[in-house]
Structure 1
Amino acid sequence: MDKGNILLSFLFFSLFFTSGFDGAKLDIYPSKTLTTGIPKLIFNCTVDPMANLMFVTTLAIRKKITNPSAVLTYAELSYTASTPVYGSGITRSRYLAFGQVIRDDVPSAYLQLEVTDPNCSDEGTYECYNSGSTNQGTVTTRKNEDNVIIRDAPVNLKMSVLPEQQTYSVDSVMNIVCSGNVGYKQQDWTWQWRNDTDETWFPYPDAYNVTYEDITPPDSRCGYVSRSMLKYVVEDRENGIQFRCMVGDLEQFSFNLTVYSTVPVVNPTLGPTTVQQPGDSGGGGDDDNSGIEVVGIAVGLVLVAIIIIVVGVLLYVIIWKKRKLKVTDQEYDIGTSKIPVVSNGVPPSSTKM
Structure 2
Amino acid sequence: MYLGLFSVCVILCVVKDLAATGLDITPSETIQAGSTSLTIRCSPAATSGYSSIYTIQMKRRFRGQYPQTKLLGMIDILGLSPGSKISQPKYDITGNHQLMSPNQSYLQIIIHDPDCNDAGEYQCITNGVSGSTTKLSQQDKNVTIQSNPGTIELTRVPDKSIYDVGDTLSVTCSGEVGNPPQSWTWESKLAQSSVFKAIIENLTEGQVVPSSTSGCDYNSTSVLTYSVTDINNGTEIRCRVGTSQLYALSTIIYVKAETTEDVQKRWLLADIERIKLEQQKLKLQISCLTQNTTNCNCGGN
Q: TM-score range by the shorter chain?
A: 0.7 to 0.9
Give the corresponding residue for 1:75: 73
Structure 1 residue 164, shift from structure 2 partner: 3.5
Q: Given the superposition, is the C-alpha separation of residues 34 and 73 from structure 1 closer, same or farther in structure 2, using an over 3 Å criterion?
A: same
- Could you tell me which runs of 5 or more consecutive residues in structure 1 were left unpaired when the two chains were aligned: 1-16, 265-273, 280-353
1:177 counterpart residue number: 172
Equivalent residue, structure 1, for 2:34: 37
Q: 1:219 to 1:61 in 2, by over 3 A?
A: farther
What's the CA shift for 1:222? 1.6
Distance apart, 1:62 and its partner CA: 1.3
Q: Residue 222 of structure 1: SS of its match in structure 2?
A: coil
- Specify the alignment match of 2:270 in structure 1: none
Match of 1:232 in 2: 226
2:146 is the counterpart of 1:148: no
Matches within 5 A, 1:130-169: 130-134=126-130, 136-169=131-164
Question: 1:254 and 1:220 mapped to 2: Cα distance?
Answer: 21
Report the alpha carbon displacement of residue 69 of structure 1 after superposing the two structures with TM. Answer: 4.3
Identity %: 23
Matched residues in 2 for 1:103 and 1:218: separation? Answer: 48
Counterpart check, 1:118 vs 2:114: yes
Equivalent residues of 1:65, 1:124 under 8 A apart: yes
Structure 2: where are the runs of 5+ without partners?
1-13, 265-301
Residue type matched to 1:205 in 2?
Answer: E
- The structure with more radius of gyration: 1
Do residues 27 (structure 1) and 21 (structure 2) align?
A: no
Counterpart position of 2:267: none
- Alpha-carbon shift at residue 30 of structure 1 (Å): 2.1
1:276 shift after superposition: 4.0
- Residue 142 of structure 1, CA deviation: 1.0
Give the C-alpha shift of residue 47 in structure 1: 1.0
Q: Distance in 2 between matches of 1:92 and 1:216?
A: 28
Superimposed CA distance per residue, residues 259-306 of structure 1 (whole angstroms, 9 cap, x where no aligned partner): 231147xxxxxxxxx764669xxxxxxxxxxxxxxxxxxxxxxxxxxx
The equivalent residue for 2:277 is none
SS of the counterpart of 2:251?
A: strand
Q: Which amino acid aligns with 2:105?
A: A
Q: Deviations over 1:101-154 (max 9, x none)?
A: 1211212101011212211121122121100011x2210011222221111111
Contact 1:243 1:257 in 2 (8 A): yes
1:102 to 94, 98, 113: 98
Could you say which residue in structure 1 is the equivalent of 2:251? 257
CA distance in 2, matches of 1:194, 1:177: 17
Q: Deviations over 1:206-248 (max 9, x none)?
A: 23xx242544224744222333332323222444443221113
Matched, 1:85 2:82: yes
Question: What's the secondary structure of 1:262's corresponding residue?
Answer: coil
Cα separation, 1, equivalents of 2:175 and 2:201:
23
Other structure's SS at 2:93 match: strand
Q: Which residue of 2 aligns with 1:243?
A: 237
How many Å apart are 1:25 and its aligned residue?
0.8
Whole-Å Cα distance in 1 between the matches of residues 188 and 231 of structure 2?
Answer: 15
| Greater RCO (Cα-Cα under 8 Å, separation 6 or more) | 2
Q: Give the TM-score taking structure 2 as reference length.
A: 0.72
| Separation of aligned partners in 2, 1:145 and 1:219 | 31
Q: Secondary structure at the match of 1:25?
A: strand
Q: Identify the residue that residue 327 of structure 1 maps to in structure 2.
A: none
Distance 2:180 2:87 in 1: 25
**Hey, what's the Cα distance between the residues in 1 that align with 2:206 and 2:69?**
35
Are 2:158 and 1:189 aligned? no
55, 60, 74: which one aligns with 1:58: 55
Aligned letter for 2:43? T
What is the Cα-based RMSD across aligned positions, in Å?
2.7
1:204 aligns with 2:214: no
Confirm or deny: 8 A CA contact 2:116 2:216 kept in the other structure: yes
TM-score (norm 1): 0.63
Cα offset for 1:195?
3.9
CA shift in 2, pair 1:220/1:251, >3 Å: closer
Query: Is the contact between residue 170 and residue 225 of structure 2 (CA under 8 Å) also seen in structure 1?
Result: yes
Distance in 2 between the 1:222 and 1:37 partners?
A: 12
CA distance in 1, matches of 2:113, 2:171: 36
CA distance in 2: counterparts of 1:101 and 1:241, whole angstroms:
68
Write the letter of the residue equivalent to 2:23: L
Residue of structure 1 aligned with 2:45, choices 10, 31, 48: 48
Task: Provide the rounded CA distance (Å) in 1 between the counterparts of 2:128 and 2:263.
Answer: 92
Q: Does 1:217 align with 2:215?
A: no
Matched residue pairs, number?
A: 249
